[in-house]
Structure 1
Amino acid sequence: MTQPDDRKQAVLPSPLQTLLLGDLDRNSPKNHLPSLHSLALQVQHNLQYMHSWTDLRIHTHSPITNQPLPRPLLSGLPPLRLYVHPDEQIELLKQADRQRIANKEAGGGSNALVIKPDPEYEWILPTRLSEKWTLRRLADVFGAISMVPPEGDSAMVNNHGQANRWRSTKRIVMATADTDSTIVYYIIHDGVVKPRPN
């Protein structure tokens, strides 16, 4: 007669746990808490696999001073432009209207206004919902970053070889993670920004 096996079956870690644990062992910087680096990896995973961002990178040092950042930040390229300056939006609408009229006079095209600005590299600030953020803490983050992430310098130039003159203030995407792994994203600008027209 055989005895029942009282041993517990091994529980394999999820793919996300494997990513976090493996990457923490290899790449965790000594100047940031492992929990902050783990949070950055969680946000990176969410952006890549749920929101189709590309060229995602974790930054631990300021591109301006090369000093450690207040906490790990991410940078990456979203699939679509996240923010269009109100004046740029008006200019894009005028250009699209001129193109629509030209197509109509040439005997083709539709009456739709087609506006599709190129995506831009963004900074991402991974946070937890339980954290308390003050203007001072945000100012410390803004003070340590450049207008665009280092790999995004070339993205400041559009398809016509011109720099994006509308991007005149620093901005970050604040990624706020809850305990249930839900992540909500907010765009935060450094300073006063012209409001969008209704």
Structure 2
Amino acid sequence: MACPADVKPPIHPSPLQLLVTDASLLSPSHLPSLQTLAIQIQHNLQYQHSWTALRLHTHSPLTNEPLPRPLISGLPPKRLYVHPDEQIELLKKAEQDRQVRSRQGDNNTALDIKTELEPEWVLPTRLDEKWTAHRLSDVFGAITVVPPDEEASDTSEDRPANPWRTVKRIVLAAVSTDSTVVYYIVQDGVVKPRQN
């Protein structure tokens, strides 16, 4: 039995459309367009890049004032940035471990570099937005070095678990008009160049 020509099959919204149109996720402190952009980036991080512990932030963990725009925090599946001095220490430790394995008769000569995962801040933006040092400074001024732990009772805690992480950083997520997302790491202030 065929459908009449004038009857169209029902259109089912995608999971992302359902997520973006969920009014319960929206906060009155930001424009709905900025919040849906943040939800879109959160969806991309979770389902395309396997991030976990994702949270949408609308207020500063320092002052509890509204953030300049909604931010996301989360845990990437692997470490995004290793400080150059930490990189040297990790290589030294891995070389020592390799030498110990070699003395024990292990023929595995690969360096086994172990890094702990770190939570990151993510700033959702559109590719055509103009970002100035002043606008970025406003964002950095409202956040802690690492995102607050969801279970922690004191959200003003600003000490990272990693002693090498001394400056604030964000992952700038830029969405183009075709919904492609490009991610850049932006750090607050001057940072020692990374060794390759």
TM-score by length of 2: 0.91
Tell me which residue corresponds to 2:61. Answer: 63
Q: Which amino acid aligns with 1:48?
A: Q
Aligned to 2:19: 19
Cα offset, 1:178, TM superposition: 0.7
Q: Distance in 1 between matches of 2:42 and 2:129?
A: 19
The answer as to whether partners of 1:40 and 1:126 remain within 8 angstroms in 2 is: yes
Aligned partner of 2:153 in structure 1 is: none
Q: CA deviation at 1:11?
A: 2.0
Q: After the TM superposition, which residues 87-98 of structure 1 pair with which residues of structure 2 at under 5 Å, given as runs?
A: 87-98=85-96
Corresponding residue SS for 1:172: strand
The CA distance in 1 between the partners of 2:118 and 2:72, in whole Å, is: 14
**Where in structure 2 are the equivalents of 1:156-175 lying within 5 Å?**
156-157=160-161, 164-175=162-173
Instruction: Name the structure 2 match of 1:139.
Output: 137
Gaps in structure 2 of 5+ consecutive residues:
151-156
Aligned-residue CA RMSD (Å)? 1.8
Looking at structure 2, the residues matched to 96 and 27 of structure 1 have their Cα atoms a distance apart, in angstroms, of 45
Match of 2:10, as an amino acid? A
Percent of residue pairs bearing the same amino acid type: 61
Distance in 2 of aligned mates of 1:5 and 1:183: 39
Give the secondary-structure state (helix, strand or coil) at the position aligned to 1:150: coil
Aligned to 1:161: none
Which structure: greater helix fraction? 1
Distance 1:155 1:181, change over 3 A: farther
Say which of 71, 79, 96 aligns to 2:77. Answer: 79
Q: Which runs of 4+ in 1 moved over 4 A?
A: 152-155
Match of 1:124 among 122, 125, 131: 122
Letter in 1 for 2:35: H
Do the aligned partners of 1:120 and 1:155 also contact (CA within 8 Å) in 2?
no
Describe the SS at the equivalent of 1:43. helix
3-state secondary structure, aligned to 2:96: helix
Distance apart, 1:7 and its partner CA = 3.8
Give 1:185's aligned amino acid. Answer: Y
Normalised TM-score (structure 1): 0.90
The DSSP-based 3-state class of the residue aligned with 2:149 is helix
1:32 counterpart residue number: 30
**Structure 2 CA distance for partners of 1:155 and 1:121, relative to 1, 3 Å:** farther
TM superposition shift of 1:9: 3.5
CA 1:130 to 1:120, structure 2 compared with 1: closer, same or farther past 3 Å?
A: same
